[in-house]
Amino acid sequence: MRINQLINDFIVFTTNEEQELLNSLSNDVRPYQSFTEREQVVLETLNRKSLVAKVFTKNQCWVMKNGEL
């Protein structure tokens, strides 16, 4: 049994800035370099919280939302 099945309302704390960036991502995949320096720092924080995923290809890094939010 998974922890998500036991806990119905599992919420990860996000700051206002992190939430704005998450909302702007929607469900598309965007290049990491298309974000400003500040947004890249916020993306790193969201990546540590497992709210976004970084996908590496040969030449580029892509960012996308992770799972259901």
pLDDT in tens, 10-61: 778 899 999 999 999 888 889 999 999 999 999 999 999 989 999 999 899 9
Structure-token pair, residue 35: 């974000």
Give which of 63, 68, 69 is closest to 25, Cα–Cα: 63
CB 66 within 8 A of CB 53: yes
Going along the chain from its start, the domains and CATH numbers come out as 15-65 (1.10.10.10)
The residue ranking higher by pLDDT, 12 or 4, is 12
Contacts of 35 (CB under 8 A, 6+ apart): 43, 63
